[in-house]
Amino acid sequence: MTDKKYLIPKTSAEAVKLFTQHENSKYIAGGTDLIVNFKQNNIAFQSLIDVSSLPELKTITANEKELTIGASCTLQEIAGHDFIKKNLSILKEAALSIASPITRASATIGGNLLCENRCVFYNQSDWWRESIGNCLKCEGDICIATGGKKNCFSKSSSDMAPALLACNAEVSIQTEKGTKRISAEQLYSGEGVYPHTLKAGELIVAIHIPIVAQQFFYFKLRQRQSIDFSSLTIAMSYQKDKSLLKIGIGSADPKPVYWEYKINGETKFEDDVLQKVKKIRFVENDYYSRDYRKDILLLQLNKQYQKFLNTK
């Protein structure tokens, strides 16, 4: 076996080039998710390409229309950014709800968006997973959480994702051929085993968030106030002038779920929510039960909807 490599490019274009030139590469920014998964043998790599210090990925800029956050900005930097605190407080809230202060000092927004899906039966040592019989997500043939289904229901575990979805964020991506811009929602496949749509070598360079007049709601269900991943994340934004609600849900389904609701439309909010929540593929893969997480989701959405309506 050849030695592993640790490469530090100077530009995002060079990063993509290095990625394709080397076998079995992975990008590393903060590494807070990647390395834990690596230690559990959930992922393997031959080369690491460190994008944490690329200058073009480290800036936060804003104009009247949109905010642009470099993908390697840390969650701590985002939470402390004055413009974000003032205009997009939901991003601050989401960032501060992630992991612990030590982790947030190096974990990046790009890394969080591409945080690996989680399941109590998957995030274990390789010895553990082998003992129980490898599941679909580690090249086995059945899902353990559902007791035998042929689909993987590992949860999308990014807390930034639902918040960014609720803000209709877009991401720019460096590819071999140049850059492209897609909606944040398009990053996600909805599949538990391969939850992300980025092709090999594609690198998120920035996240763009439109600036509109809106109010926010953010909620994360977890047992402890720090360290924990989410059991359910709810992000809502309300554009009063457009009577529009944008809703992002995390840690429920294999992808971050997004939908919009037009107030005074044909369907009542409660009914619409019921329909949408039914489609979310909650399974027993968390320390909180599927039923509880569902109940809390319905409850919080309906309560918050009323609160938004009642705001002046």
Partner 1 sequence: MIQVQLKINEKDYTLLVKEDEMLSYTLRERLHLKETKVGCDQASCGACTIWMDGTPISSCITPTLKAVNKKITTIEGITSGPQLHQLQELFVKHGAIQCGFCTPGMVMTALNFVNNNPKCNLEEIKESISGNLCRCTGYKKIIDAIAEYAGIYRKQTSSIKGASDNHTVIGKRTPYIEAEKKVRGIADYADDYIIKNALVCKFLRSPYPHAIIKSIDFSEAQKLSGVKYIAVGKELPEKFGVLPISQDETAMAIDKTRYIGEIVAAVAAETETIANEALQKIKVDYEILPAFLNIDDSLKTTDCFIHQTSAKHKSNVHKKAEIRIGDKEKSFNESTIVKDLTVTFEGISHGFTEPHACTAYWDENGVSIITATQVPHYLQKALSKTLNIPLYKVRVIKPYVGGGFGGKSDPFAHEIIASYIAMKTHRPVRVCFSREEVFLTNHGRHPSRINIKIGTDSNGIIKAIDGNMQIDGGAYGSFGVVTTYYNGSLLQGPYKTDYYGYSSARLYTNKPQCGAMRGHGGVNPRFVTECVLDDIAHQLKMDPCELRLKNLLPPGTTTLGQFRITSNGLKEALTSVMEQARWTERYGKLPYGHGLGVACSWYISGSLLPIIWNEYPQSVVHLKLDFDGRILLTSGASDIGQGTDTLLPMIAAEVLGIKKDIIQVVMADTLLTPVDLGSYSSRVTFMAGNAAKAAAEKLRDEIITCVAKRKELVKEKLRLNNNEIVSNSGEKICGWQEAVDITLSQRGAISFSGWYISPKVGGDYKGAGAGLSPSYSFGAAIAEVKVNPDTGEYKVINFYGAHDCGKALNPLAVEGQLEGSWHMGLGQAMSEQMKYHEGHLLSNNFLDYKIPTALDTPEIYTNIIESKDPEGPFGAKECGEGALHPSIPALSNAIFNAVGARVTQLPITFEQVYNAIKANPQLAKTSSL
CB-wise, 84 or 107, nearer to partner 1?
107
- Residue ranges binding partner 1 (CB under 8 A): 3-6, 28, 31-32, 35-36, 38-40, 45, 48, 50, 52, 99-103, 105-106, 120-121, 123-125, 127-128, 130-132, 144, 221, 223-229, 287-289, 292, 295-296, 299-300, 303
CB-wise, 39 or 149, nearer to partner 1?
39
Residue 168 Cβ, how far from partner 1 at the closest point, in Å?
27
Quote the CA–CA distance of 144 and 134 in Å, as a whole number.
9
Quote the CA–CA distance of 1 and 275 in Å, as a whole number.
52
Quote the CA–CA distance of 66 and 164 in Å, as a whole number.
13
CB-wise, 44 or 213, nearer to partner 1?
44
Residue 246 Cβ, how far from partner 1 at the closest point, in Å?
21
Residue 226 Cβ, how far from partner 1 at the closest point, in Å?
3
Centroid of chain to Cα 44:
21
Residue 173 Cβ, how far from partner 1 at the closest point, in Å?
24
CB-wise, 74 or 168, nearer to partner 1?
74
CA–CA distance from 68 to each of 56, 86, 104, 206, 294 (Å)? Answer: 11, 15, 19, 6, 33
CA–CA distance from 229 to each of 25, 96, 109, 118, 247 (Å)? Answer: 26, 12, 15, 9, 20
Residue 186 Cβ, how far from partner 1 at the closest point, in Å?
29
Please work out, in degrees rounded to the nearest 5, the angle formed at the alpha carbon of residue 36 by the alpha carbons of 33 and 37: 85
CB-wise, 194 or 287, nearer to partner 1?
287
Residues 60 and 77: beta-carbon distance below 8 Å: yes
